[in-house]
């Protein structure tokens, strides 16, 4: 009623309490006035008693009839104050004849039903008599049938809206409440039936125990709930849930609860799903797109996005071929792919231009099996048709008990996006002007096959993106190597994702295998010149100009532009296609020396 002010609606309230007419004048009484009346009642009870005595239980039971009657009058008054109308009927909800008579006497059709009646008598089945079981079930089930018969008697087949107050016990079960759980489960199913087969919008709200009112306040039940980790529900929160479902809900079954503690044996709760923009939801639903987005954790549309994925060798078999001493390492290029996917979800009208300020930090190692990681993407700045999105790859820090106490950051980068337009020539012109000036690798025969590289590298066939060495280039100050670069479908093993093992296709955004080929080619230069095996630690700038044709043969060149005293080498990389048109470039690729190369693995190329 409070959510529908001055609607002129009629509320017919049903209950077992008998109205005591004198209490209608008590609705404005203070606590002291009520206390005086309660004491006066005691005196009247003593005067009427043959023994001249009255017990505390007898006194409270008698007083409760007055307070319940007053509560009804308070409710009727509150509804009238909203500009609506209310009438109370003292009736047993299981009395079908009485309910039918009530329905036919109203003079208007019943358009909504709310069934909140219930009894609870917790005992194990072996200790529970048939009469108790029967009564608990019938209040719910027969009560609902009687209410529906009142609707029919009022002139409608079904109401427009129906709501049954059920219980989390009907969803999860609870010790000693077999009858109560069964009755509530029947009403859960009935609401689903009504919604599916009639014009009635019906919902079952499975409540936890309410705080300060209802069954959960009896005896020591609240203490039992607390010990079991079951949170009770504040009245105002429950009212808000009911009003929201009554006026705008669309579900057939809703749980109104907090933590259920021991009741939720199978940890069945999930976070409420985010309401994603239609384009984002459709993209995620396509299994071939964005394979590194398992879940969207948070979204500030167009500004910030947090995604999550769980890395495993089962779903991501490429990890098996990027392992050191048997431990899978999530490749840096796949972290860049994750950044690209999350950024493009955040900005679906853009396409990937490249990366800046890439920093590869703590490696992602799958030491104990699958590992859950998150990508945080935040728009940092925009200029004309360009946008820069700051991305971080993070995971949880947990102790030996699995308790999370912080997060660790693994990698970071600025993702460069360009707005999709019919004419991208201004963007492409800027990118070409920014390419590293290292020349174009010529077409030629292989000097060393791919096996020459992978005799020295740890990469397995799903990550062998270098097709072989064409020759040495540059000079003593800026040594380099020309080679062949392989796309994903050209690798010795192409099933990088489990989906691909079942014939499904997976589309990646950042051409990660071509970036990986650049890493490996630059690593060969550092290996040759310094005698170290190296790993990438960062990229100053990169661009992705086009997606190559499926059968295109790609060549690459990397030049070492700097060698620092701490074992870091800096390289520029260019990948070109058969027409010498650039595909991808890296500037300021930094490699960090990790270990000496065995003497029998050393080599030298002519320049």
Coil vs helix vs strand at 248 = helix
Coil vs helix vs strand at 176 = coil
- Residue where the block lists tokens 């005896």: 219
Q: What is the pLDDT of residue 168?
A: 83
- Cα distance between residue 138 and residue 211, in whole Å: 26
Q: How confident is the model at residue 174 (pLDDT cuts 50, 70, 90)?
A: confident
Q: Are 52 and 46 in contact (CB under 8 A)?
A: yes
Judge if 307-432 and 444-601 fold alike in CATH terms. Answer: yes
Q: 492-545 pLDDT, tens per residue?
A: 999 999 999 988 899 999 999 999 999 999 999 999 999 999 999 999 999 999
Q: Considering the chain, what is the average pLDDT of its residues?
A: 91
Helices (H), 371-475: 425-433, 450-454
Q: What is the pLDDT of residue 216?
A: 47
- Residue extents of the structural domains in the chain: 1-90, 111-266, 307-432, 444-601
Helices (H), 262-379: 278-285, 332-346
User: Does domain 111-266 correspond to CATH entry 3.40.50.720?
Assistant: yes
- Cα distance between residue 40 and residue 42, in whole Å: 5
The first and second tokens of residue 321, run together, are 């071929």
- 49, pLDDT greater than 60: yes
Q: 287-322 pLDDT, tens per residue?
A: 788 999 998 999 999 999 999 999 999 999 999 999
Of 26-30, 94-98, 119-123, the poorest mean pLDDT is in 119-123
**Chosen CATH of 444-601 out of 3.30.750.24, 3.30.420.40, 3.10.129.120, 3.50.30.50:** 3.10.129.120
Per-residue exposure over 254-267, b if at least 16 CB sit within 10 Å of its own CB, e if not:
bbbbeebeebbeee
Q: 206-235 pLDDT, tens per residue?
A: 888 887 665 544 544 566 666 667 788 888
The partner residues of 359 in beta bridges, in order of sequence, read 412, 538
* N-term to C-term CA, the chain: 87
Q: What is the pLDDT of residue 381?
A: 96
Q: Are 558 and 570 in contact (CB under 8 A)?
A: no
CATH superfamily of 307-432: Hotdog Thioesterase (3.10.129.10)
């Amino acid at each position: 009623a409070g959510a529908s002010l001055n609607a002129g609606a009629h509320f017919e309230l049903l209950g077992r309490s008998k109205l005591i007419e004198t209490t209608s004048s008590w609705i404005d009484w203070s606590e002291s006035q009520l206390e005086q009346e309660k004491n006066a009642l005691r005196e009247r009870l003593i005067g009427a008693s043959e023994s001249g005595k009255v017990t505390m239980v007898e006194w409270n039971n008698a007083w409760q009839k007055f307070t319940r009657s007053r509560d009804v009058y308070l409710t009727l008054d509150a509804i009238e104050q909203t500009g609506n109308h209310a009438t109370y009927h003292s009736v047993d909800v299981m009395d079908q004849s009485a309910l039918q008579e009530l329905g036919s006497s109203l003079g208007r059709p019943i358009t909504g039903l709310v069934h909140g009646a219930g009894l609870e008598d917790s005992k194990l089945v072996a200790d529970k008599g048939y009469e108790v079981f029967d009564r608990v079930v019938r209040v719910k089930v027969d009560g609902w049938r009687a209410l529906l018969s009142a609707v029919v008697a009022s002139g409608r087949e079904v109401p427009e809206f129906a709501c049954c107050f059920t219980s989390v016990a009907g969803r999860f079960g609870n010790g000693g409440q077999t009858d109560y759980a069964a009755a509530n489960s029947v009403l859960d199913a009935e609401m689903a039936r009504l919604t599916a087969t009639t014009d009635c919008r019906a919902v079952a709200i499975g409540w936890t125990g309410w705080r300060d009112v209802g069954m959960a306040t009896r005896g020591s039940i609240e203490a039992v709930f607390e010990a079991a980790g079951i949170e009770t529900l504040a009245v105002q929160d429950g009212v808000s849930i009911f009003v929201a479902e009554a006026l705008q809900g669309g579900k057939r079954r809703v749980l109104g609860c907090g933590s259920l503690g021991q009741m939720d044996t199978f940890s069945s709760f999930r976070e409420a799903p985010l309401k994603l923009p239609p384009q984002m939801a459709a993209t995620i639903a396509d299994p071939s797109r964005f394979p590194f987005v398992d879940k969207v954790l948070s979204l500030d549309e167009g500004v910030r996005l947090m995604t999550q994925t769980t890395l495993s060798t089962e779903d991501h078999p490429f990890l098996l071929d990027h392992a050191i001493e048997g431990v899978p390492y999530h490749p840096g290029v796949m972290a860049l792919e994750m950044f690209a996917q999350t950024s493009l979800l955040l900005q679906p009208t853009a396409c990937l231009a490249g990366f800046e300020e890439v920093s590869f930090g703590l490696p992602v190692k799958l030491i104990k099996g699958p590992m859950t990681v998150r990508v945080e993407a935040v728009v940092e700045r925009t200029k004309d048709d360009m946008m820069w999105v700051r991305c971080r790859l993070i995971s949880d820090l947990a102790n030996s008990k699995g308790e999370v106490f912080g997060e660790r950051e693994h990698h970071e980068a600025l993702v460069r996006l360009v707005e999709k337009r019919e004419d991208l020539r201004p963007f492409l012109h800027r990118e070409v002007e920014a390419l590293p000036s290292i020349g174009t690798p010529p077409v030629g025969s292989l000097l060393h096959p791919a096996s020459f590289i992978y005799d020295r590298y740890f990469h397995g066939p799903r990550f062998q993106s270098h097709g072989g060495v064409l020759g040495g280039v540059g000079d003593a100050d800026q040594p380099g190597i020309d080679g062949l670069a392989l796309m994903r479908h050209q690798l010795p093993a192409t099933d990088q994702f489990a989906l691909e093992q079942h014939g499904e296709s997976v589309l990646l955004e950042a051409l990660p295998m071509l970036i990986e080929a650049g890493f490996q080619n630059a690593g060969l230069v550092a290996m040759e010149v310094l005698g170290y095996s190296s790993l990438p630690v960062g990229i100053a700038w990169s661009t992705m100009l086009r997606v190559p044709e499926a059968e295109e043969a790609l060549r690459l060149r990397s030049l070492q532009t700097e060698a620092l005293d701490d074992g870091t080498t800096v390289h520029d990389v260019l990948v070109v296609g058969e027409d010498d048109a650039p595909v991808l470039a890296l500037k300021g690729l930094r490699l960090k020396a990790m270990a000496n190369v065995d003497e029998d693995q050393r080599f030298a190329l002519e320049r």
